[in-house]
Structure 1
Amino acid sequence: MERFRVSIGDEVLHTIGVSEPGVLTVSVYSVVRKPEGELPEHKCNLTLTGLDSSNHHALDWGGFCLEAGDRISIEVLPEDSFDPPESKTQIRLRDLDPAPKRAPETDEEELRNIADELGWKLIEEAPPVGAAGPPSSVPPFVSALPSPGIDCSSTLGMERFLVRVRGETHTIGVPGPGVLSVIIAAVVRHVQGAEPDHECMMELGGLWADRDTANWPKYDLVPGDKIEIEVLPEGSFDIPVRLRSWNQISEEHLAGKRVWARRTAWDLGWTLIENEPEPHSISN
């Protein structure tokens, strides 16, 4: 699993890492909240954290306050030794959710749950002869709902981040108040009977107006990559590559459920009735 060497200016803060399976995260973020009738809450921080999944330990190498002019460097390094965390906290699973919802054990159980959620009628027997074939398995993730607009001329009191990686540069921001983040993470999941699931990536994102989201290009990272982040004062920023409202996100999630339910019902030989017909009047 990769390690990250993190610096501010010329000072190396830490070389961080975790044993597999686990999660390693570098987060650079700016948050401005403006509760009604109160003064704005504002912070801009760098955090270095990890999760040792085998031992259920949350790892922390500390948090650092940032301001305009600070320059952060993150180098992606191959597997090797790393600095011990400043704190290690045992996670008790019951603390994460004192009454966790049991996950469905079978497709049949999940299909019953989704049909109930969507208000569809599920008949656990084959559809009538001549019924249509299986539906497309590709969910319509391009929502018909309009995307939110965004004014890229100013971040309205929030910092911007200038991000450099592989010769490319992105200036990201949101029209505050809101949240702006650069997340660099390495994740290794061990799945019984399968090859480990491994990912190392960087995501650039923002949230504003409580419900609208913005994303800039996402990068898959490899050892040797170096990410440089400069904290800039308020100003203009690059147009995001993707804008979505909360309603769009909800619709896309439901669209995926609908397609999965249709496909699974067909595979099981069951019948889904999505919209029951209105009863017809009989006239003499």
Structure 2
Amino acid sequence: MKQNSTSKIVAFVFLIIMAILWAFPILWGIFTSFKSEEEITAAGATFLPIHWSISNYAELLFNNQSTPIVKWFTNSLIISVGHTILVLVVVSLASYGYTRLEFKGRDLLFGMLLASMMFPGIVNLIPLYGIMDKLGWVNNFLAVIVPGAAGVFNIFLVRQFVLGIPKTFDESARIDGASEFQIFWHIILPLLKPVLTVVALFSFTGAWNDFLWPSIVLNDIDKLPITPGLQLLQGQYLTYPGIGTAGALIALVPTFLLYLFAQRYFMQSMSLSSGVKG
């Protein structure tokens, strides 16, 4: 009993230390964003601001034409929300097809799909850009919304969840005269809520934080999302760390709020059968 208590104390202390190590840079950035550039230069490495100021945020939001961060923020919301909705539609339908529909070569096709995960995503950049060019989507939001909608990992994750749903639910619905789409819409889809919430969380965060692909396929500064836009911000305000930090924190807000509100469903999805009530 004593050994068990000691293990819990050690684990608790370890987690507290890790939380402090994780939170300290974030807190440093938050406090730095409220310092004037003069204070950052003169006072050196002080943790708390001597004089609190919102001048960095005002400069970013209202006095900047060459780095329109509000426009970038809006673009990121459009791209991330659009991509997430498309992912949920594609992944939920594909997962149902790979588990409930019987067709020739289904398992072979899924195996080939899994095998594609062995190739790093960067090898697809050149052919993917060529496809976007042929479709006329270069410098268009569709070029960053559509690719990646059928992510293999997401399909695999949701498929494993669907496999945990008893097929007796389907059979009972068929006896009552339900079609395949009605079974999917009224029975399977409601049970997928926890795992689809996690997929939405990962998809939104991935689209929001993506830097390389938007930098390649979007060449209009007003169409950039906020993550590649921050690179331009850093270039313009290289000697102004307060403004750069404020921009990074603005970019952090949506994903932080999303994780905050979705954490309950994230924990539920840790068990792939948590959505099924026997």
Same fold (TM over 0.5): no
TM-score w.r.t. length of structure 2? 0.22
Would you tell me which structure has more strand in proportion to its own residues?
1
Would you tell me which structure has more helix in proportion to its own residues?
2
TM-score w.r.t. length of structure 1? 0.21
